[in-house]
Structure 1
Amino acid sequence: MIQKGDALDLIQLEQRRPALIATDPPYAFGGSGAEHAISATVAIVLREAAQKLDKGRWMLVMCASSWRSTSYMVEAVRGIVEPVRIATWCKPAARTKVETTGWKWASVNVVAFRKGKAVDDCAALDLDHITAPPVINGRRAELPAEVAAWMVKPFAVPGGLMIDPFAGSGAIVRAAAECGMDAIGYEKSPAEAAA
């Protein structure tokens, strides 16, 4: 289920502790003006979500493959959850016109964070890499169902609550629901929230 509204407001209203948080937030990380506002919102929402996470459970956050973006996500939740593993979604074709020597893949990092001692230590071992093209929807690229399932399945807690604070098209929410979780996504944009 995707709820329309601001993630920060909706997370604060949630009464249950999530057994899993998985999200693909906007990748802004700095700048000024609107970009700074997005960066601040992402950091605050991730921090609030991490505080609600049940002990021993996992938080999965997608970010740009640069160290700057990955570090930004790690710093946003420092002291609440611990980064345990970085996995990679490799896209077989970059959408950028810029070619860098030796760089043939566009990729997205997935940082797996844990809150306290793991309930299941082997879950993160299944998360390494996946190769899949993004779903192109006009000018936007959406998360493919197989990538969402790869990300969520090792950490799913049947019957538990999964929250995606930046649900977008809802791929992560659907993947968690298919794993038997009570999956809730928050999305500010009405077009995505209608899904």
Structure 2
Amino acid sequence: MSEPVSALQGKSHQGFVTVAEAGPTGMITIRGDLAGKPLARALKAQGLPVPEARRIEQVAGRSIAWMNPDELLLICAHDAAPDLTATLAQALAGEHALVANVSDARALFTIRGGKADQVVMKLSPADIASLPMGEIRRTRIAQVAGSFWRSGPEEITLISFRSVAGYVMGLLEVSARPGSELF
């Protein structure tokens, strides 16, 4: 069996903050009735809640994010994603729902340091300064779609499509160049 390879194989860059591609990460898209009991039961069986709108919850090394009114994104260990996808699909069989392993179609980045928010402020129209812990934003990162959240006091995590991972990393590297701080 071959080893998983992430979009940029864990590439990192040190500027006034550290930006890094996180390496292989499990990601599962779950689409369906977020207010429905079957979905709540399927997630509860995995120890996960249904997050409120624009929220991301972290439970036992996994995260589950609200992406839109009928979509969630479950983030887990890369090697756990296939079995977890199958388990959730089985639990939702017969429901109007979709469970898809999108791990190899996405890239995950971390921006770490005291001015991590400044890197994202340069790239997104979202109000990063007032972004609280536990809130996820789905927006534009320059010219591409992306999502991000404050994953720690001095850390922002960002997700993009794998196909644009090199472009996103380039944006993050330029935005983190020493001397380009906003304040």
TM-score (norm 1): 0.27
Task: Write 1 or 2 for the structure with the bigger share of strand.
Answer: 2
Task: Write 1 or 2 for the structure with the bigger share of helix.
Answer: 1
TM-score (norm 2): 0.28
Please say which structure displays the higher CA radius of gyration. 2
